[in-house]
């Protein structure tokens, strides 16, 4: 069965940077579009970024455009999210999720990012 | 892109049916057949229940069904069970390469 494992979360000061990683296993990673979805404490889900299987198409939500960059390395079965200029409102659990067109069929356990001074 | 509109809460007794709505616009829910629904228990990871409006992944009970009329999608849970108590989220492809979630609905089994 497909598995996704995120890492890289932690505490960072406002204006700082962080890079999240997600390693996939149990499926052919290179053939699937991948996504990052976040959930602020006590709040709902928010789509963050998507990347097609070969990185041809990359999309970001307006709330993170210009600050976050999604990327992948299919040779390493890995997905990344480079987060720069972090703000308090970026505090959330960040999930890696497989899927396309707004359908996410497998999710990782999530990694918590806390932006605070 | 604004979030899709869901009622904040819904409830029903065991064995009953409950329907949760997800209202968008002709630019999202009404414009594409890419509406999906997720169940999230407290402290757990979201789980895909319905995709492409009406399709159910393998392993999801047929008590869960999806539909759409105009700009509103709906999730119906039939034969409510105690374990159905959770938060439910809809999601839609928006066009312009965006995706959006609903605000979530807390389902209580009375």
Using the Cβ of B97 and the Cβ atoms of chain A, whether some distance falls under 8 Å is answered with yes
The residue of chain A nearest to residue B48, with distances taken between CA atoms, is A105
pLDDT of residue B2: 75
Of B51, B52, B100, the CB nearest to A47: B100
Using the Cβ of B88 and the Cβ atoms of chain A, whether some distance falls under 8 Å is answered with no
DSSP letter (8 states) at residue A4:
E
DSSP letter (8 states) at residue B1:
-
Average pLDDT, chain A: 96
pLDDT of residue B1: 65
What is the per-residue pLDDT across A1-18, written as a single tens digit (0 to 9) for each? 999 999 999 999 999 999
Are A45 and B1 an interchain contact pair (Cβ–Cβ within 8 Å)? no
Of A46, A101, A107, the CB nearest to B45: A107
Q: Rounded to whole angstroms, what are the CA distances from A6 to A10, A20, A112, A113, B61?
A: 12, 7, 10, 12, 28
pLDDT at B90 over 80: yes
User: Is residue A51 within 8 Å of residue A71, measured between CB atoms?
Assistant: yes
User: Is residue B21 within 8 Å of residue B63, measured between CB atoms?
Assistant: no
Pairing status of strand A103-107 against strand B35-40: unpaired
DSSP string, A38-100: EE-TTS-EEEEEEE-TTSS-EEE-TTTTTTEEEEEEGGGTEEEEEE-S--GGG-EEEEEEEEE
Are A102 and B104 an interchain contact pair (Cβ–Cβ within 8 Å)? no
Band (pLDDT 50/70/90 cuts) for residue B67 is very high
Mean pLDDT of A61-82: 97
Whole-number Å distance between alpha carbons of A38 and B8:
19
pLDDT at B109 over 80: yes
């Amino acid at each position: 069965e497909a598995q996704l494992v995120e890492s890289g979360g932690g505490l960072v000061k406002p204006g700082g940077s962080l890079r999240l990683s997600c390693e996939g296993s149990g499926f052919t990673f290179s053939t699937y579009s991948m996504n990052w979805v976040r959930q602020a404490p006590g709040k709902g889900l928010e789509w963050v970024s998507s990347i097609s299987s070969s990185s041809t198409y990359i999309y970001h939500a307006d709330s993170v455009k210009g600050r976050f960059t999604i990327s992948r390395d299919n040779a390493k079965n890995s997905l990344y999210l480079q987060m720069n200029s972090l703000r308090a409102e970026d505090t959330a659990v960040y999930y890696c999720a497989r899927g396309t067109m707004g359908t996410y069929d497998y999710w990782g356990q999530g990694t918590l990012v806390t932006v605070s001074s | 892109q604004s979030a899709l509109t869901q009622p904040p809460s819904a409830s029903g007794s065991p064995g009953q049916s409950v329907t949760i709505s997800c209202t968008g616009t002709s630019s999202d829910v009404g414009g594409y057949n890419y509406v999906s629904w997720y169940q999230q228990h407290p402290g757990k990871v979201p789980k895909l229940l319905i995709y492409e409006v009406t399709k159910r992944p393998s392993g999801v009970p047929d008590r869960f069904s999806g539909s759409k009329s105009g700009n509103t999608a709906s999730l119906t849970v039939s034969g409510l069970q105690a374990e159905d108590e959770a938060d439910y989220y809809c999601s839609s492809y928006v066009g312009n390469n965006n995706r959006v979630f609903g605000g979530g609905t807390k389902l209580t089994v009375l």
